[in-house]
Amino acid sequence: KEFAEKIFEPYTQEATRNFVTENGSGLGMAICKNIVDLQGGQISVSSDIGVGTKFVVDIPYNTCLGENQKENDDDLDYNALDGKRIMVVDDVLINTVITKKLLEKHGVVVDCAQNGKQAVELFESKNDYYYDCILMDIQMPIMDGFEAAEEIRSKEKRYASLIPIVAMTADAFISNSANADRSNFNEYIIKPIAPNELYGKLIRLFNERG
């Protein structure tokens, strides 16, 4: 019970009865608390030897959409996505899988790249106007999203300057990237991706271009 007061501090571990600590860095609970704090919530713990431990996480969230938002979602013309070819560029596999499945749900043909360099190479390997859009993560190894978008725009392909490129990023990161050229992007989507934001922005881009 005495250790419960320190359990959320970084690099702290409780010793066993033989004064041997368990394997680990002592960061797990500190990370959990940081995640909860970032969402405006609270985490607490209660524990009894021989009985067990209970963690309680309390995070305030709206659990339903407002009426206006529901109407906007219902107005989306998903037919505008059917048959479109989109390149998804992200170095995190689970992000790629989720985005791919969201797009394929409405008939989109999806190709994937793991970093900016692969994205540039994939774009160059296709004919003009092959892709209808590129969804580009910003933070990636080898070549980041800013560099990749600039490379693509500089290509001699006729469509290089016209293809819609949508940045996928955390709001704080794109806002703090004052030295990066954001003019190469037509739009951006905040991660983690909300399906209706993804669909809505893509549909609007496609409709604007006819």
State the pLDDT confidence band at 74, using cuts at 50, 70 and 90: low
Assess whether pLDDT exceeds 70 at residue 112.
yes
Which carries the bigger pLDDT value, residue 179 or residue 97? 97
pLDDT per residue as tens digits for the range 170-205: 755 555 555 556 789 999 898 888 899 999 999 999
**Over 70: is that where the pLDDT of 23 sits?**
no
Mean pLDDT value across residues 145-149: 94
Confidence of residue 35 (pLDDT cuts 50, 70, 90): confident
Q: Which among 35-49, 84-98, 181-195 has the top mean pLDDT?
A: 84-98
Residue 12 has pLDDT above 60, yes or no: yes
Whole-number Cα distances in Å, 23 to 14, 48, 139, 201: 11, 22, 32, 46
Is the per-residue pLDDT at 108 higher than 50? yes
Q: For residue 176, how many C-alpha atoms fall within 13 Å in the half-sphere facing its CB?
A: 7
Residue 8 confidence class, pLDDT cut points 50, 70, 90: confident
- pLDDT confidence bin for 67, thresholds 50/70/90: very low
**How large a percentage of the chain has pLDDT more than 70?**
82
52 φ/ψ sector (left φ>0, alpha ψ -120 to 50, else beta): left
Stretch (H or E) spanning 208: helix 195-208
The pLDDT assigned to 174 comes to: 57
Residue 73 pLDDT class (50, 70, 90 cuts): low
Residue 76 has pLDDT above 80, yes or no: yes
Picking from 155, 149, 144, the residue whose alpha carbon sits closest to that of residue 114 is 144
Question: Looking at the whole model, is its pTM more than 0.85?
Answer: no
Paired tokens of 173: 């990161």
Tell me, what's the pLDDT at 30?
85
Residues 170 and 172: their CA atoms lie apart, in Å, by 6
How far apart, in whole angstroms, are the C-alpha atoms of residue 76 and residue 194? 14
Q: What's residue 4's pLDDT? A: 80
